[in-house]
Amino acid sequence: MNALAELVDELKILRKGRGVFVSHIGDRIGATLRAVCDVDDDDGPAEIRQKVSRRLEGLASDLPSDLRVAVLAAFALSPDARLPLYQDRVGWAAAKLGRDPRTARRRIDDGIHQLAQLATLAVSPESAAPAESTIGWHTSELRVALALDRGRPEALEYRRIVSDQDDLSELDLAMTLTVPPERNGSGSHELGVNVFYGGTLTERGMESSERFAFVLGLPRPLSRGETHDYALHVRVPEGQRMTPHFACVPKHPCEVFDLRIRFGQDHPPSRIHLLNNVFQRDIDDPKLDGEPVSIDGAGEIHLTFRNLSPGLAYGARWEF
């Protein structure tokens, strides 16, 4: 049996009875779960419970909202679901999700499998460093602040990259400005991109009718494992509207994506939905049921994504 299957089995054992609040929790924790949660042989029940709870809660934060509710209830990690019997917690999750108990059990099983996948990925030797790619670098941290409460939408992008090769001298980058359906012609070649710091734009061009490509020349060549920071200012062309979404679709591994969007107080969206781990072609699909996102008193939202999967979309979409 591989580590993933072992961890799934151990998590299913842990969810029985009182979950993480079982008296002799040490007897419920198998070797794989101990490794995932950094449980030592001399840890007592309280230390084991604390380590396991924190680890499972952290992993669950990356799950879709329905699976997160289900697994936190299953292990009695939700304060309102600390019931003595597993079947009672299934009932609580079913009521919370507005589903029947049978569906809640399926959500729990699905959530446990995804928890195990996230946990084994995090501890596997292959995942200790992002896989090398033909571009020779990957993103450690991406932070974007998008302002929509002014004449032209504009964004500040801060990125920290890590070189996966020696003598890395330039970065191939690209941005997509999706044109609203009613507009004829793209005009996306007018996208304004300027460097705040960290390099020089040495080339511009169009990869498609909507995808704008450019090369950022670095101040000096980087060695393997070396980090580099840069920041860009991006403005949408005068008179062109943005489609009502913003997403990062990484080509290569990205460890953290932090997104802030300012809609302003005068004309906030009626609905905002989370885009998390979705296919790019589904971003505008009206049937895509994303988790609702609340807007604060300043007319802003703040989202953070971790361990982004290449080729999938992360961000938000909205309706006015």
pLDDT of residue 81: 93
Position 129 scores a pLDDT of: 42
Domain assignment present for residue 212? The answer is yes
Domain that holds residue 151: 137-319
What pLDDT is attached to residue 276?
Answer: 87
Report DSSP letters for 126-162, one per residue. GGSSPPP-TTSEEEEEEEEEEE-SSSS-EEEEEEEEE
CA-nearest of 29, 133, 131, 116 to 71 is: 116
Q: What is the residue type of 179?
A: V
CATH number at residue 152: 2.60.40
pLDDT at 244: 92
On whether both 236 and 156 belong to a single domain, the answer is yes
Decide which of 66, 92, 127 is a domain's last residue: 127
Do residue 46 and residue 15 come from a single domain? Answer: yes
Q: Give the total number of structural domains in the chain.
A: 2
Residues 88 and 201 in one domain: no
Q: Which residues pair with 229 in a beta bridge?
A: 160
Boundary of a domain, candidates 108, 127, 146: 127
Residue 132 falls inside a structural domain? no
Cβ atoms of 254 and 139 within 8 Å: the answer is: yes
pLDDT of the residue at 108: 94
Supply the pLDDT for residue 208.
58
Q: Are residues 82 and 215 in the same domain?
A: no
pLDDT in single tens digits along all 320 residues of the chain: 567 888 899 999 999 999 999 998 998 888 889 988 989 888 899 999 999 999 999 888 888 888 999 999 999 999 999 999 999 999 999 999 999 999 999 999 989 988 888 887 655 444 434 444 456 888 999 999 999 998 889 999 999 999 988 999 999 888 877 655 454 444 444 678 899 999 998 766 665 556 778 899 999 999 988 999 999 999 988 777 788 999 998 877 788 999 999 999 888 999 999 998 888 777 887 777 778 999 999 999 999 998 887 778 899 999 98
Residues 121 and 188 grouped into a single domain? no
Pick the last residue of a domain from 69, 100, 127.
127
Same domain, 299 and 163: yes
Same domain membership, residue 8 and residue 109: yes
- Residue 24 placed within a domain: yes
Domain identity same for 105 and 169: no
